[in-house]
């Protein structure tokens, strides 16, 4: 499983997808999220601005990315 380490309390879903290289742009992130291709904690997530906190897991195209707190 891949990991993204938080710099702040949370990261937005679209930003997280860009940060880990799953998408190339915010436009691409918006497109795949609105198409229902992204799951957060096992549930489809349609909001690009969804706030993700430590322990949340993103699933996209067979990849799993865990959000890690900045204090770890």
Task: Compute the distance between CA of residue 14 and CA of residue 22 in angstroms, rounded to an integer.
Answer: 10
Q: What is the pTM of this model?
A: 0.92
CATH topology of domain 2-68: 3.10.290
pLDDT digits (tens, 9 = 90+) for 33-69: 999 999 999 999 999 999 999 999 999 999 999 999 9
The contacts of residue 44 (CB under 8 Å, 6+ apart) are 36, 38
Q: What is the pLDDT of residue 1?
A: 92
Residue range 9-24: average pLDDT? 96
């Amino acid at each position: 499983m891949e990991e993204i380490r938080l710099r702040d309390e949370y990261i937005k879903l679209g930003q997280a997808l860009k940060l880990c290289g799953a998408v190339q742009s915010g436009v691409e992130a918006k497109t795949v999220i609105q198409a229902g291709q992204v799951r957060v904690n096992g549930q489809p997530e349609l909001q690009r601005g969804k706030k993700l906190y430590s322990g949340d897991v993103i699933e996209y195209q067979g990849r799993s990315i865990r959000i890690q707190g900045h204090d770890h």
